[in-house]
Structure 1
Amino acid sequence: MLLSLVLSAVTVSGAATLAARADAGDTACTTITSSLGDAQVAISPLNASYIESRHDYWNARQSKYHPSCVVYPKSSQDVSVAIRAIRASGSRFAIKAGGHSPNNFFSSVDRGVLIDFKSMTAKAYDSSTTLATYEPGSNWGQLYSFYQQYGRTVMGGRLSGVGTGLALGGGLSYLAPQYGMACDSFKELEVVLPNGTITTASATSNSDLFFGLRGGGGNAFGIVTRYTVQSQPIGKFYAGTLVYVLDHSEAVLEAVRDFISYNTDPKASVMATYETLTTPDVLLNLDEVIVVFLVYDGADPGTAFRNFTQIPRLLDTSKPNTTYTEVADMPIPYTAELSRADNVFRIGAHQIEGEGGRQRPRELYERYAAWADTHKGLYVYVAINFYPVARSMTDASRARGGNAMQMPDGPWFWVNYILATPPGLLPDVYDKIQASFRAMVEATPSAPELPLFLNEAAVDQRPLATFPTYRRLQQIKRQYDPDGFFAYKTGGWTFD
């Protein structure tokens, strides 16, 4: 009897919380609509814009939530109006640019206000200063295409479909070995603060806020509504993909290891990925494919990629005269970029030199491969990706003022893991496979002196705590969000 009363009380309490959340969301939506008008607010779940905003996520799991409304601001003033209304009502909210973050509630919300930046796509180029300015609603492919007409580009992501919020978490591109991370290119940011105030942050104005936004993540200190960044010259590339079958996994791992250790050409960039399908390995190891992306800023890479090109391969699409827009559109077999699945990331950071460093890529791959084989049937696909961090990249970052990661000198590397599970798994099955996947990643601890990569970290990994600047970031958080409004009303990285 007592247990039944307790369960009943818990159920009533949970229902009351959901009802209160819905009421706060509805109140905020009504206030925002009265200020911005019906054309900029979608309330009905049958509205085509609402449906698109709710379903267009890289992690399909985020599509199960039901915003009280979706707001489409056209300016920083509109964002300020929305934030003030959200704050007054006590509603939860989320900011959505590309919707690529897999972490729960980082760009999705249930019974609250979803602010979708798809209407904020203005972009410009100043030839006298070579500075580029853009709003957060475009993806990297659209930005690369726009600036290409000027013979310039901006530092962003490696895939065209990813949104601009990536830059706030660091942003790793094929040009990073030359120019540093995407956040290193920031010159001035327009920011809507948690209290609704619109301000600018740069090296000379709100410099502490500027520092926090250079790799400290979005949804933390404020909402960036305009980026002014240093553009870089762009020409034609030698680029393409090499596709190998499993028989050559050892040779590719050795090539990856040697590239991380010895490459000193900042124009040469590599990303290697091992991708495994859930299908049984019944014929020629075709359940796994190895894809290496080669990108060289110039027509002739010389011997930069020799270790990869001398390995027998199934497919080679590399060629000169490739535009940077085409580089960002390079095809990726079997990836979650094309899948409709519950996709999650986890990240590791590892030294290549020192005790055990030279064998680390193989160790990581072997543990991953054993896990993938053991868990066949419980995922759509899984992948392990190797991201070299060259000395030239860390030097370029430091030369531009550094960022919140304060990356130690390269060479070292990040390793990204992707788990794609089919939508609709029973909660206990989903939780078990996630826990097992996490244990597999944690079985090889990251180097304690290296920062985890925000863009591809799971929220429970607490990547900010791995930054040497963590205490400073905590202070900046308290300064700009003193009552924890962003901390409690939207998803994002925690500063506890």
Structure 2
Amino acid sequence: MPILIRLGVFFIWVLAAVSVERLLLLNVLASAQWNPSAGSILNTSSISPSPAVKGAQACTRLRDELGSEVVHLCGEGVYVEAIQNPNSLYNSFYRPACVVAPQEAVHVQKAMATIYEERAHYAVMSGGHTAMTGWNTVQDGVLIYFTNMNNVTYDAKTNRATIQPGVRWGDALQQLEPYGVAPMGGRLGNIGTGLLLGGGISYLAPENGWSTDAITEMDVVLVNGQQVTATANNQYSDLFRALKGGGNRFGIVTRFEVEPIRVGRSTDKNWYGGVILVSQSIILHERGLQSVLIASTPLSNKSSLISLQYPESSVEALIRATHTFIETNTDPRAAVLVILGYVMRNGRPIASHTVAYFYRGSNLPREVFGDFLDIPSDFQHLAPVSYQEAASIFGSGDYRESGERFSGTSFAGGPEKCLKAYKDFRRFALESTYLVNSTVLALTPIPRHQIQVARNRGGNALDPSLQPYISAHWHTVLLKGQEQIPPKVELGLQWLMRQNPPSAGAPLDMNESDATQNVYATYGNYEFLRRVYRKYDPTRFNVRYSQGPIGL
């Protein structure tokens, strides 16, 4: 009897086990999908590995395939350098699973193929200048860091420069100077080549278009690791145009071929203009009233520059002059950058309103700049400059020990919208005196001839209406070492964007906008970009596994 009982218990256990297995199998089958092309069942109920696991798996494979000279793990020298490289402090808090520092394009191909197969999160860093959190770094994923691909070459016969993605514009400017040419890069030397993918503005823009319009050829690694060469006239012409302002969504560029501009050597003073900070306006708060004290404090004796520092009372005139400039000026040799800013010192906002003027010629023609020059200012110094001096006047723009925030807008039509935006910005600045280090509203005139020359050169992703406008952005630098943006500052910046939306037909500048803004939707080529993205990334891998512009 005991034996029969034991046998009965055993059979019951076997039947129960079989039943459990059948139930589990039925559950799997119920949640599975039939893949007719593969003739098999795909299990969709299994728990996907975490991003950390996927990142670790990708890094293990890449380390084995590419070696320790290319793939760097936590604590190793290049890894530490990479996580400290972002210009915004907030992006230095991310910890990738590994850093891939490619030495040639094939390393990028292998890295992306592995990332794609492992479904790992990833990011790409060239100059590291973006203020958008997570755009140039990644947590627990693979960071592709272009520190070792930083060569610039020039072919005088074809007037073409080849620029690798790890180059910064200050270095490119210096390396091309002996040939008397300059790249259409940025207005700060520390900015990397990622600027080209977002459009890019230089002092050469009014005469030559956006920086991205100088590109003639690109080598591009697609999300699956395939590399293609895109030009305006080959089978990848749609990809070529999408990358000219479309950002990091369409692939990783491993080589830019660009047409530089003949500007002369650094000893050739064939430009007129420049800017230095020469005075400060301290705004005092007393019983709700604000008074302005102008304290002229020269900070430089650079004799080769024009510097105009404007008091608070001149801001409205500056904004009106800027709108008159874009509406009436037809001389493409003129460039203007208006910077309306506040620096906080011991709870006191110090107003610093400066305009940079540059002109390819021997003076500043009054018919072009007269409205600006007639506005009362605290100091001005006019003299010839080389283009290399003009392009370097604002230095590197390095804020590595502070967090940054960008947000953008645009103004077409009369000056009223811009005047309101400044009024709102001033309110934000005065309410943030103890919370930020500095904040500026920068205004870049986009004249009609800049838009036309961009179209003549084949067009770009932005494709604005043929109307002049002002591209504007707020740039806020937080307190040194401040690890989180204060809620009041965040709310204030969101309020500024809501109160001052971009004008129709006047696209936002992707390089200087907030991550929450749908920059693509402001582009004239928005629907074209969506089609191209679907073509080259049909599984939406980039959108799902890396951070960047929204809207595709």
Q: TM-score, normalised by structure 1?
A: 0.89
Percent identity, aligned pairs only, is: 31
How does 1:214-233 map onto structure 2 within 5 Å?
214-218=244-248, 220-233=249-262
Specify the structure having the higher radius of gyration (Cα). Answer: 2
Check if 1:345 corresponds to 2:406. Answer: yes
Q: CA deviation at 1:339?
A: 6.1
Read off the aligned partner of 1:489 and give its amino acid letter.
Y
How does 1:295-314 map onto structure 2 within 5 Å?
295-303=358-366, 304-314=368-378
Read off the aligned partner of 1:265 and give its amino acid letter.
D
How far, CA to CA, are the matches of 2:400 and 2:273 in structure 1?
24
RMSD of Structure 2 on Structure 1 (CA): 2.2
* 8 Å contact kept, 2:88–2:400: no
Check if 1:261 corresponds to 2:306. Answer: no
Q: CA deviation at 1:118?
A: 1.1
Which of 375, 380, 391 is matched with 2:437 structurally?
A: 380
Read off the aligned partner of 2:540 and give its amino acid letter.
G
* 8 Å contact kept, 1:336–1:343: no
CA deviations 1:81-123 (Å, max 9, x no partner) are 1111222222211100011111122111011111111111122
> For residue 104 of structure 2, what is the aligned residue in structure 1?
75
Read off the aligned partner of 1:187 and give its amino acid letter.
T
Q: CA deviation at 1:416?
A: 0.7
For residue 159 of structure 1, give the secondary structure of its aligned residue in structure 2.
coil
* 8 Å contact kept, 1:240–1:317: no
More off after superposition, 162-171 vs 17-26: 17-26
Q: CA deviation at 1:432?
A: 4.0
Q: CA deviation at 1:317?
A: 5.1
Check if 1:249 corresponds to 2:312. Answer: no
For residue 458 of structure 1, give the secondary structure of its aligned residue in structure 2.
coil
Q: CA deviation at 1:324?
A: 2.5
CA, structure 1 residues 65+455, in 2 after alignment: closer, same or farther (shift >3 Å)?
A: same
How far, CA to CA, are the matches of 2:330 and 2:48 in structure 1?
56
How far, CA to CA, are the matches of 2:361 and 2:176 in structure 1?
18
For residue 436 of structure 2, give the secondary structure of its aligned residue in structure 1.
coil
How far, CA to CA, are the matches of 2:379 and 2:78 in structure 1?
40
Q: CA deviation at 1:197?
A: 0.6
Read off the aligned partner of 1:350 and give its amino acid letter.
F
How far, CA to CA, are the matches of 1:68 and 1:317 in structure 2?
52
Q: CA deviation at 1:424?
A: 6.3
Which of 224, 231, 251 is matched with 1:202 structurally?
A: 231
Check if 1:480 corresponds to 2:536. Answer: yes
Which of 179, 195, 214 is matched with 1:150 structurally?
A: 179
Q: CA deviation at 1:67?
A: 1.0
How far, CA to CA, are the matches of 1:465 and 1:360 in structure 2?
20
CA deviations 1:60-95 (Å, max 9, x no partner) are 100111111111101110101111122222221110
How far, CA to CA, are the matches of 1:290 and 1:436 in structure 2?
21
How far, CA to CA, are the matches of 1:494 and 1:111 in structure 2?
22
Structure 1, gaps ≥5 residues long: 1-16
CA, structure 1 residues 426+60, in 2 after alignment: closer, same or farther (shift >3 Å)?
A: closer
Q: CA deviation at 1:341?
A: 1.7
For residue 287 of structure 1, give the secondary structure of its aligned residue in structure 2.
strand
Structure 2, gaps ≥5 residues long: 1-46, 265-269, 276-307
Check if 1:294 corresponds to 2:360. Answer: no
More off after superposition, 272-281 vs 394-403: 272-281
More off after superposition, 18-27 vs 53-62: 18-27
> For residue 405 of structure 1, what is the aligned residue in structure 2?
462
- Over 6 Å off, 4+ runs: none
For residue 292 of structure 1, give the secondary structure of its aligned residue in structure 2.
strand
Q: CA deviation at 1:252?
A: 2.6
CA, structure 1 residues 109+281, in 2 after alignment: closer, same or farther (shift >3 Å)?
A: closer
Check if 1:165 corresponds to 2:221. Answer: no
Which of 334, 340, 347 is matched with 1:274 structurally?
A: 340
> For residue 5 of structure 2, what is the aligned residue in structure 1?
none
Q: CA deviation at 1:336?
A: 6.2
CA deviations 1:447-468 (Å, max 9, x no partner) are 1232211111112111101223
How far, CA to CA, are the matches of 1:245 and 1:42 in structure 2?
51
Q: TM-score, normalised by structure 2?
A: 0.80
How does 1:110-189 map onto structure 2 within 5 Å?
110-189=139-218
How far, CA to CA, are the matches of 1:136 and 1:125 in structure 2?
15
More off after superposition, 174-183 vs 450-459: 450-459
How far, CA to CA, are the matches of 2:206 and 2:82 in structure 1?
35
CA, structure 1 residues 313+488, in 2 after alignment: closer, same or farther (shift >3 Å)?
A: same
* 8 Å contact kept, 1:170–1:454: yes
Q: CA deviation at 1:146?
A: 1.5
For residue 331 of structure 1, give the secondary structure of its aligned residue in structure 2.
coil
Aligned length: 467
* 8 Å contact kept, 2:402–2:481: no
More off after superposition, 371-380 vs 194-203: 371-380
How far, CA to CA, are the matches of 2:55 and 2:421 in structure 1?
45
Tell me: higher relative CO, structure 1 or 2? Use CA pairs within 8 A at least 6 residues apart.
1
How far, CA to CA, are the matches of 2:358 and 2:483 in structure 1?
41
Q: CA deviation at 1:312?
A: 4.0
